[in-house]
């Protein structure tokens, strides 16, 4: 599948549209306010280990200054009556631990930061 944006944005009756081409077929779409005001995508920061679900910490397996490896489990938490493991995406030294056993946190919360 080939995708590209060939034509600039244009307006019809005050509604802003943009034309996209997929495999030589044009598609016109309205650009909503939500789309125009969205947060830009940015790559994940492997130094910040975040929660993929909201939950409650059951065990913190690292402390500040520890040297860890990528894939190592660093925090365990309970969510939806299940214990989940949080693993570091990359190795490094632990800069800060932002949670302790019993803490509740939302999705996306930074649990541990690496140097």
Q: Is the pLDDT of residue 8 over 60?
A: no
Q: Burial code of 73-96, b = ≥16 C-beta within 10 A, e = fewer?
A: ebbbbeeeeeebebebeeebebee
Nearest CA to 77 out of 95, 52, 96 is that of 52
Could you read off the pLDDT of 29-73 as tens digits, one per residue? 877 778 778 888 888 888 999 999 999 999 999 999 999 999 999
Residue 57: how many CA atoms within 13 Å on its side-chain side? 22
How large is the average pLDDT for residues 6-18?
64
pTM of the model: 0.65
What domains are there in the chain, each with its CATH number? 3-36 (no CATH), 48-114 (2.40.50.100)
Question: Which pLDDT belongs to residue 43?
Answer: 84
- Give the gyration radius of the chain's Cα atoms: 21
């Amino acid at each position: 599948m080939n995708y590209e944006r060939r034509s600039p944005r244009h307006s019809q009756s005050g509604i802003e549209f943009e034309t996209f081409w997929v495999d030589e077929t044009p598609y016109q779409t309205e650009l909503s306010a939500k789309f125009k005001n969205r947060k830009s995508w940015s790559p994940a920061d492997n130094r910040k280990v975040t929660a993929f679900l909201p939950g409650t910490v059951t065990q913190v397996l690292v402390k500040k200054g520890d040297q860890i490896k990528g894939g190592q489990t660093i925090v365990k938490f309970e969510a939806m009556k299940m214990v989940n493991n949080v693993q570091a995406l990359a190795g490094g030294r632990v800069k800060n631990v932002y949670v302790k056993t019993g803490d509740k946190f939302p999705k996306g919360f930074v649990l541990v930061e690496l140097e």
